[in-house]
């Protein structure tokens, strides 16, 4: 009897395991803000075995993954990963853009019809209202009759909101003015008690009560430039951009508790909140598949400030590796190893600091957009009696159609006139008019990427692209946004449920992620999806 009973229990357990293997109980999407593909290999020897290396050694590495549009910014990046399509269709053409109907700049997740939850500041007036398509997270919710839980978290609001989609149970982001995670009335009337309790711990203050020193002895950071170099920004209250960074003395002068974003402890805080979210919301414990979107925002802030070759950025990634290891370990303990599907990618990469490249005698430099626009406005005033320029943002020129119509000018001719004038500037590589975008289909090259980022209703009249390694930015630190591989080439790793170990160098676009997840989960593609399932992962 005992033997039969034991066999019966074993059989039942086996059936349960087999039943569970039909779908993951939890999907975790990890997006690292400003991660270059080469960081995996540059820092490989210093990574531990349970973070990036675990994802590579036990998961599947899509080595040739690129963004297939411009501009490569945070908002469009997160939107495109989860909608499976580009700004041309999902509508998130930048972080901020000039709204042609309202004649003012708008923020990609701004929503004046909602109020903050957990805050009284404008940081709470956020929602996915400007996202025009569904996300893979929306489709998961719809497919389960809203039984699947979907939650998005990040320090940046747009990095939490856009991945979570329109139907999310919650999205949480960090309000640096009060040092707490918040949400908006789009999702809830008040913060859950567990979020309130988490905020009461005042972890940002605790993390900022320590100095930021290197994790390893500083002489071991041979993958980076010397600590004291002229390509890094100096914080208020510091004489040089060098370790140790005295955070207790610095943060009151550098954004208060919000300064945690500019340190690797922003990643620690995000990981802490991710673990608490999984635990408190019992993610992965129901019959429906749950989905947690996590974005680590601090690498972007650190990269902008110090640049990709700084010891600060290297130290940030070595510490992030440890945070990932802890998060992965907790996920597997929570839902069982093999029941969680994890993917990791980035919302964009980053170029070298142009000043550094120039010193190496590599063509690079800085664009002064204000001077360009001033020259354009003077030329247009002399030619047409009016500057006709409403805005220059995200390398797009918006013209005043009301005045153009009143003067009975031919719009296409005005656009072409603007394009011809701007193209004369030495830093410019491409200029395309909206008329050309609307009447021509490009299939390759920079113009193809520009077209994939062009939304007919939201984008400008003339689109401009700069030469490689030319940016509109200060001479220290780095930025992003271009169609070149240094901005578009990012890592993509899948790990866990039904993922076999391996790698591929086949061309994959960032929009293929959502299509692949849809096939894995046996649900509908997002309704604007243009991506293609990654065949080697779904065989």
Catalytic positions = 74
DSSP assignment of 76-128, as one string? HHHHHHHHSS-HHHH---SSEEEETTTTEEEETTB-TTS-EES-SSGGG-B-S
CA torsion, ordered 428, 430, 436, 439, to nearest 10 deg: -160
DSSP assignment of 249-273, as one string? HHGGGTTGGGGGGGSTHHHHHHHHH
Question: Cα separation of 408 and 115, whole Å?
Answer: 44
Q: What are the CA-CA distances from residue 379 to residues 327, 385, 396 (Å)?
A: 56, 9, 17
Q: Are 485 and 379 in contact (CB under 8 A)?
A: no
CA torsion, ordered 161, 164, 165, 167, to nearest 10 deg: -110
Tokens read off for 365: 């430099």
Q: Are 136 and 162 in contact (CB under 8 A)?
A: no
Question: Cα separation of 204 and 286, whole Å?
Answer: 32
Q: Are 96 and 458 in contact (CB under 8 A)?
A: no
Continuous segment of H or E residues that includes residue 462: strand 462-466
Could you count the other beta carbons within 10 Å of the beta carbon of residue 479? 21
Question: Cα separation of 478 and 349, whole Å?
Answer: 10
Tokens read off for 195: 């979020």
The side-by-side arrangement of strands in the sheet containing 65-66 is 489-490, 65-66, 508-509
Bridge-based pairing state of the strands 508-509 and 65-66: parallel
């Amino acid at each position: 009897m005992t033997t039969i009973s034991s066999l019966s229990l074993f059989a039942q357990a086996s059936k349960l395991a087999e039943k569970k293997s039909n779908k993951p109980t939890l999907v975790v999407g990890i997006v690292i803000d400003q991660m270059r593909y080469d960081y995996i290999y540059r820092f490989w020897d210093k990574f531990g075995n349970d973070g990036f290396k675990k994802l590579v050694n036990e998961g599947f590495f899509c080595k040739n993954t690129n963004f297939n549009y411009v501009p490569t910014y945070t908002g469009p990046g997160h939107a495109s990963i989860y909608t499976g399509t580009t700004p041309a269709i999902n509508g998130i053409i930048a972080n901020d853009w000039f709204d042609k109907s309202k004649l003012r700049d708008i923020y990609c997740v701004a929503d004046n019809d909602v109020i903050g939850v957990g805050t009284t500041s404008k940081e709470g007036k956020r929602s996915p209202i400007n996202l025009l398509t569904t996300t893979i997270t929306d489709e998961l919710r719809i497919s389960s009759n809203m039984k699947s839980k979907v939650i998005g978290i990040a320090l940046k609001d747009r990095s939490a909101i856009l991945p979570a989609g329109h139907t999310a149970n919650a999205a949480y982001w960090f309000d640096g003015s009060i040092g707490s995670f918040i949400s908006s009335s789009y999702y809830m009337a008040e913060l859950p008690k567990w979020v309130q309790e988490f905020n009461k711990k005042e972890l940002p203050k605790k993390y900022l009560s320590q100095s930021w020193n290197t994790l390893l002895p500083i002489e071991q950071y041979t993958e980076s430039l010397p600590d004291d170099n002229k390509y890094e920004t100096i914080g208020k209250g510091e004489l040089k951009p060098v370790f140790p960074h005295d955070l207790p003395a610095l943060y009151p002068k550098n954004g208060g508790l919000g300064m945690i974003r500019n340190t690797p402890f922003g990643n620690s805080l995000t990981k802490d909140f991710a673990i608490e979210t999984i635990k408190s919301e019992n993610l992965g414990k129901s019959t429906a598949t749950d989905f947690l979107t996590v974005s680590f925002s601090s690498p972007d802030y650190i990269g902008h400030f110090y640049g990709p070759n700084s010891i600060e950025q290297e130290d940030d990634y070595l510490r992030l590796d440890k945070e990932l290891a802890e998060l992965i370990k907790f996920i597997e303990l929570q839902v069982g190893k093999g029941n969680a599907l994890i993917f990791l990618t980035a919302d964009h990469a980053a170029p070298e600091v142009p000043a550094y490249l120039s010193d190496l005698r590599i063509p690079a430099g800085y664009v002064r957009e204000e001077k360009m626009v001033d020259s354009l406005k003077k030329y247009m005033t002399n030619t047409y009696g009016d500057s006709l320029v409403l805005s220059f943002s995200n390398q797009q020129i918006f013209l005043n159609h009301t005045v153009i119509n009143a003067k009975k000018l031919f719009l296409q001719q005005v656009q072409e006139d603007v394009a011809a004038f701007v193209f004369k500037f030495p830093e410019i590589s491409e200029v395309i008019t909206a008329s050309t975008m609307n009447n021509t289909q490009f299939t390759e090259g920079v113009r193809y990427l520009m077209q994939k980022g062009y939304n007919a209703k939201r984008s400008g009249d003339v689109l401009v692209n700069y030469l490689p390694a030319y940016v509109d930015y200060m001479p220290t630190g780095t930025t992003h946004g271009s169609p070149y591989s240094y901005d578009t080439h990012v890592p993509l790793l899948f790990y866990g449920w039904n993922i076999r170990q391996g790698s591929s160098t086949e061309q994959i676009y960032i929009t293929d992620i959502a299509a692949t997840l849809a096939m894995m989960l046996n649900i509908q593609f997002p309704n604007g999806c243009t991506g293609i399932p990654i065949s080697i992962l779904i065989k």
